[in-house]
Amino acid sequence: MRGSAETDAVLRLRPGAEAALLLRVAGVMVRFGGVQALAGVSFDVARGQICGLIGPNGSGKTTLFNCISGIYRYGAGKILFADQDLAAVSRARLAGLGIGRTFQNVALFRSMTVRENILVGAHHLGRSGFLANALALPSVAREAQAAAARLDDLLDRLDLAAVADIAVARLPFGTQKRVELARALIGAPKLLLLDEPAGGLNHDEVAALADLLQDIRERFALTILLVEHHMNLVMRVSDKVVALEFGGKIADGTPDEVRREPRVIRAYLGDGADASAA
């Protein structure tokens, strides 16, 4: 297997770094037919970090996102979440491990109200099955109460209380995005994967989103990985930015470091652009 030597080297941890590490992407390769979508990308995300994943169209950031969220299988490399190899984990078990996500163009349950949508996000916290629910056993009521308490808290925090009983399909896009965020948060994730959270939002909404992301990171002790086109947002909220181009990593560091990296500038602005233009 190509790249396994590199993978092994990356997987050897420095002592002490272990506790802080939450997500490790190591030498991940994906090939679609003849196209190398990801050519061995590696980076780490520490607990509590907001990590921005950027790159021009076709750079492989969405492919990488889909590998972490279990949509694509990768040919080589490893993705470790809290020391667990995600290759062996089915998509439905990711939520239980503590990985929550949102979708690029919002993937809400259209026939449901805001309240119901968010409650589905708490599904993996419950244990009661068909029989217990049909018989309305006390354990079911306890679970429902616990979920309802989390729900009320999130409705408040994300400003959704007034629309809680409205069908999501009738709400504006920006509100739908908040519903999706609440749906991911109610499941108490450790890692939150956000797929272009600023897509389709207006200028004010993006500013509010930046504040919101930093706020929920603190309140819910979250680690966030976001794939995003919106440069201002990424640079403003991220502790760390990883830049991809043509399926390879071209920069990895603080927003300032990545902003100054010549290869990033070239990737975004083309040859001949200077640093000040970024």
Partner 1 sequence: MNAARRPIFLAVLLLVLAAALAFLLSDYRLFQMTMVVAYAIAILGLDMLTGYTGQISLGHGAFYAVGAYTAAILMANFDVPYWATLPIAALICAGFGFAFGFPALRLGGLYLALATFALAIAVPQLLKYKAFEAWTGGVQGIVISKPDPPFGLKLSQDQWLYLFTLAVAAVLFLLARNLLRGRIGLAMRAVRDHALAAEAMGIDIALLKTRTFALSAMYTGIAGALGAIAVQFVAPDSFAVFFSITLFVGLVVGGITSLLGAVFGAIFIVFIPNIADKISKAAPGAIYGVILIAFLYLLPMGFAGLLRRAARLDACAAPPTKTLAPPPGKMAEEIRIRNG
| Number of other residues whose CB lies within 10 A of the CB of residue 277 | 9
Q: Furthest-apart CA pair in the chain: how many Å?
A: 70
Region near partner 1 per CB under 8 A, out of 14-22, 23-31, 40-48, 155-163: 155-163
Crossing angle (nearest 10°) for helices 173-185 and 203-219:
10
Fill in the per-residue mask, 19 to 58: x = in contact with partner 1 (CB under 8 A), - = not in contact.
----------------------------------------
Question: By C-alpha distance, which of 88, 58, 159 is closest to 118?
Answer: 159
Phi and psi at residue 187, in whole multiples of 5°? -80, 5
Size, binding site for partner 1 by CB under 8 A? 57
Residue 163 has φ and ψ, to the nearest 5°, of -110, 15
For residue 107, state whether it binds partner 1 (rule: CB under 8 A). Answer: yes
Which residue in 7, 59, 63, 69 binds partner 1 (CB under 8 A)?
Answer: 69
Nearer to partner 1, 103 or 220 (CB): 103
Interaction of residue 92 with partner 1, rule CB under 8 A = yes
6-14, 26-34, 106-114, 246-254 -> range binding partner 1 (CB under 8 A): 106-114
Work out whether 108 is an interface residue with partner 1 (CB under 8 A). yes
**Residue 144 binds partner 1 (CB under 8 A):** yes
- Using CB under 8 A as the binding rule, whether residue 195 contacts partner 1 is answered as no
Q: Is 67 in the site for partner 1 (CB under 8 A)?
A: no
Nearest-10 Cα torsion for 138, 143, 148, 151:
180
Query: Applying CB under 8 A, which part among 18-26, 43-51, 115-123, 251-259 lies near partner 1?
Result: 115-123
Q: Which is nearer to partner 1, 21 or 188 (CB)?
A: 188
Nearer to partner 1, 109 or 246 (CB): 109
The pair of three-digit structure tokens given for residue 185, joined into one six-digit string: 């948060």
Residue 190, interface with partner 1 (CB under 8 A)?
no
Q: Identify any residues that bridge with 99 across adjacent strands, giving them in sequence order.
A: 191
Residues 6+ apart with CB under 8 A from 102: 177, 180, 181, 184, 192, 193, 194, 195, 197
208 sits near partner 1 (criterion: CB under 8 A): yes
Helical segments of the chain, H only: 4-11, 61-68, 91-97, 114-120, 130-134, 138-157, 173-185, 203-219, 231-237, 255-260, 262-269
Name the site residues for partner 1 (rule: CB under 8 A): 69, 71, 90-96, 100-101, 103, 107-112, 116, 119-124, 126, 128-130, 133-136, 140, 143-144, 147, 157-160, 162-163, 165-166, 170-172, 174-175, 183, 187, 207-208, 211-212, 215
